Structure 1
Amino acid sequence: MHLRKMAELDKPTNKLLDIYIEKFNRDKRYKPADDAIVKLFKAFPKNDNIEDILLKISVINDMYSTNILGTFKMAEHILEQNIDKGLKNGDAEVVHQIAKGHGIRTKRNNTELNFYSFATKYCNWHNQESYAIYDSFVEKVLLAYKRKDKFSDFKTTDLKDFEMFRKIISDFLNYYGLTKHNLKQIDKFLWIYGKEKFPPNYRKK
């Protein structure tokens, strides 16, 4: 397992977060991409027009490589869900409404794909203080700190339940006394720290 071969983890502190958030903000690719998405979602904040939804999906899909091949199908699905009120209220169920029920299926066995990571990103860019972003790097960091310090009691599958995921993030902040950063900054730290500590393995099979 990669988690057992990783470099030693630093104790999360406000100072450590500042260092890695600054790394993110100084990156010539990550920061401009973030700023571009901020502009887009400010220009098209609602989800009652399929053209606006399609544009937002396409940009997230490209910037984050979320692998949604059926972007138009996903746009139709999001339009049907009437999610704007739920997004504003920070309703956890909106993540699952987007992630499932869209009818985009695998070619191999015709099962519907669960676009949970994409859904957290889509929700996050509408309401950054209510929706944390889930991806593989974030998962690896949280699992590694759970093994190291037992900051929270959860199973790996709990990370794919957004209400539980949100609680796990809250447990992480409370356990380590991370008091000076907003949720968006926490997202940046978890992602770029995870990318550094758990670099993707591109070895050929």
Structure 2
Amino acid sequence: MGLPALTLQYAQSRIAQFDGDDRYFGADKAVGLVFSAWPLNTKLEEVIVKVVVLDRLYSTRILSPWPVAERIVELTIDTRLVAGDHSLVHDIANTRTGGKSRYLLSFASKYCAWHRPDQFQIFDSLVEDLLWRYRREHRYDDFRRYELRTYSRFLKAIDRFRLHFGLESLTRKQLDKFLWIEAKQMQAQPQSK
């Protein structure tokens, strides 16, 4: 299949590429500014701003941000964020918008990760594909692809990936950057069945 060899040096070069691109790093700075301005999640008017900015700049495709913001406030998440409670991702993801239940895993993981980048890893469909490709070629884990949509299993796969390829010295935030930019590059490459 020909996946690139993953080393710490290679990962660091990809992180530098992410940080050197204003489309990505500029968006990160803007989102960081909003989340640092309003670190708590008790006021709907502050949460809605974070939801909209995160959705727009990270393309999470929330159809209606208002119910998502209401859900976050309703869950009183701040204590759980501080504790690094990973079940919070599921609770935020399980939201009703437009009269329908939607599971907003990508958004929920990003929302939590922006509050606690040391505790939460970002789920993204591109990263899901990258993990799957590497699992098939390198057998670093035994998950089934659909299992990655369960946040606790996703984290386990990430941690095994990190260990297998010697990336333990990267922070979760650095790993997010590496995985995303690497997955974006791989998106253009066809996957053999």
TM-score range, shorter chain: over 0.9
Match of 1:80 in 2: 74
Q: Give the structure with the larger strand fraction.
A: 2
SS across alignment from 1:103: strand
Match of 2:86 in 1: 92
The separation in 1 between residues aligned to 2:119 and 2:160, in whole angstroms, is: 15
The separation in 2 between residues aligned to 1:59 and 1:72, in whole angstroms, is: 12
- The within-5 A match list for 1:141-160 is 141-160=130-149
SS across alignment from 1:48: coil
The separation in 1 between residues aligned to 2:178 and 2:125, in whole angstroms, is: 14
Match of 2:107 in 1: 118
Relative distance call for 1:200 and 1:72 in structure 2 (3 A) is farther
Q: Does 1:51 align with 2:45?
A: yes
Match of 2:164 in 1: 175
- Residue of 159, 165, 188 corresponding to 2:154: 165
The separation in 1 between residues aligned to 2:5 and 2:141, in whole angstroms, is: 15
Tell me the TM-score normalised to structure 2 length. Answer: 0.94
Give me the CA root mean square deviation: 1.5
The list of structure 1 runs, each at least 4 consecutive aligned residues, that deviate by more than 2 angstroms after superposition, is none
String of CA shifts for 1:144-184, please: whole Å, max 9, x gaps.
11000100111112211111111111101111111321111
Match of 2:27 in 1: 33
What amino acid maps onto 2:146 in structure 1?
A: T
What amino acid maps onto 1:30 in structure 2?
A: Y
| Gap regions ≥5 residues in structure 1 | none
Question: Which deviates more, 192-201 or 8-17?
Answer: 192-201
Q: CA deviation at 1:199?
A: 2.8
Q: CA deviation at 1:94?
A: 0.5
Q: CA deviation at 1:88?
A: 0.9
Q: Does 1:130 align with 2:119?
A: yes
Q: Does 1:190 align with 2:179?
A: yes
| Gap regions ≥5 residues in structure 2 | none
Give me the identity figure in percent.
36
Q: CA deviation at 1:111?
A: 4.3
What amino acid maps onto 2:21 in structure 1?
A: D
Q: Does 1:69 align with 2:63?
A: yes
The separation in 1 between residues aligned to 2:4 and 2:131, in whole angstroms, is: 13
Match of 1:19 in 2: 13
The separation in 1 between residues aligned to 2:83 and 2:115, in whole angstroms, is: 11
Tell me the TM-score normalised to structure 1 length. Answer: 0.88
